[in-house]
Structure 1
Amino acid sequence: MLTWNKEIIIHAPINKVWNLFELDQIQRIMPNVVEHKPIEIKDGVVGSTYEQTYKEGKRTETYIVTDTEYENTEQKKHKKVEFTLAKAFKIETAFTLIQLNDQSTKFIYTGQNEGLNLMGKTFIKLGSKKRNDKVVDDFVELVRTEAMKDS
């Protein structure tokens, strides 16, 4: 299993950062997600499902994303999602924002990628931790950059 936990400070108000995780803004921080459409939206968000299509190079994957945790207060915003990719990987990611002051937000990005079958487990074992760390670092930097554009 591959796990990650990255924290950064973003010099932008919490609501500006949180807005990037809305349906109509998601492609700003996840440019390879070419489609993200709701299937079922639940009251309280938890249990809501979305069909997401991801494109990398010529490969396109479509999968169902489920909201498993959700919190939205003035001081803290949190969303955890999970999905199965290519019947080989179970992926969970969480985005947590904590307001430090009117112009600063702590962004915590955590997750795990678990191989579900021999192919998935082998791929994770052979995969580079350094490469995964770069993907995580690039994502949090993109969130920071996009949030600061709006501030």
Structure 2
Amino acid sequence: MKWQKERVLDAPINIVWALFEEEQALRIMPKVVENKWIDKNPEMLGSTYEQTYREGKQQESYVVKIVEFEDTVNRKHKRIKFQLANAFEMNLAFTLEKVSEQQTKFIYSGSNIGINFVGRVMLKLGSGKKGEQVIYNFLDRVEQEAISDHKSLSR
């Protein structure tokens, strides 16, 4: 499964970017319960952290690696990679482009690949509509949190 979705957010690029700091993940990824740095490089590229995820009563931890990182005035980008449940290779990218002082284009792209028989079968049996809904729910959460932060900082 691969995807790329875009949305223009009514918030400055730096406010949106702050949501993608590992310490803020719980705000935009409600099933993530903890991020713990393993190796944090000053330039972020190659940094790793342990992420703990909860689905119902089941909890799993895995290592996330930052494989691309860019932080300029007009463009910000982070791509992460990890294996989930020893069945899927997740590749997620978050790209922000400055539209204006008050607007940011958010591009969310990624892929979910089955790395073994079980993972491939689960992806084939999974509903495409359900996957799309997860992506749109994430876009909605990022937008809501960015607008909320922008309003509270504008007061």
TM-score under structure 2 normalisation?
0.95
- Deviation, structure 1 residue 18: 0.3
- 1:39 matched residue in structure 2: 38
Q: 2:140: which partner in 1?
A: 141
Point out where structure 2 has 5 or more consecutive residues left out of the alignment: 151-155
1:20 match: 19
Q: Which residue of 2 aligns with 1:30?
A: 29
2:86 maps to amino acid: K
One-letter code aligned to 2:28: I
- Could you tell me which amino acid in structure 1 is paired with residue 138 of structure 2? F
Q: Residue 86 of structure 1 corresponds to which residue in structure 2?
A: 85
Provide the rounded CA distance (Å) in 1 between the counterparts of 2:22 and 2:147. 19
Listed one character per residue, the Cα deviations across residues 31-90 of structure 1 (whole Å, up to 9, x for unaligned) are 111010100012321110000000011111110000000000000000000000111100
Point out the structure with the larger helix share: 2
- Tell me the TM-score normalised to structure 1 length: 0.97
- Which letter does structure 1 place at the counterpart of 2:3? W
Which residue identity lines up with residue 29 of structure 2 in the other structure? M
Give me the whole-angstrom Cα distance separating, in 2, the residues matched to 1:21 and 1:12: 14
Q: Are 2:60 and 1:61 equivalent residues in the alignment?
A: yes
Tell me the residue number matched to 1:8: 7
Give the aligned partner of residue 153 of structure 2: none
- Give structure 1 stretches of 5+ with no counterpart: none
Q: Which residue in 1 is equivalent to 2:131?
A: 132
CA distance in 2, matches of 1:60, 1:48: 23
Deviations 1:86-129 (A, max 9, x none): 11100000000000000000000000000011000000111111
CA distance in 2, matches of 1:113, 1:122: 13
Output the CA distance in 2 between the equivalents of 1:23 and 1:94: 14
TM-superposed CA distance for 1:24, in Å, is 2.3
Residue type matched to 2:144 in 1?
T
* Amino acid corresponding to residue 66 of structure 2 in structure 1: D
Count of residue pairs the alignment pairs up = 150
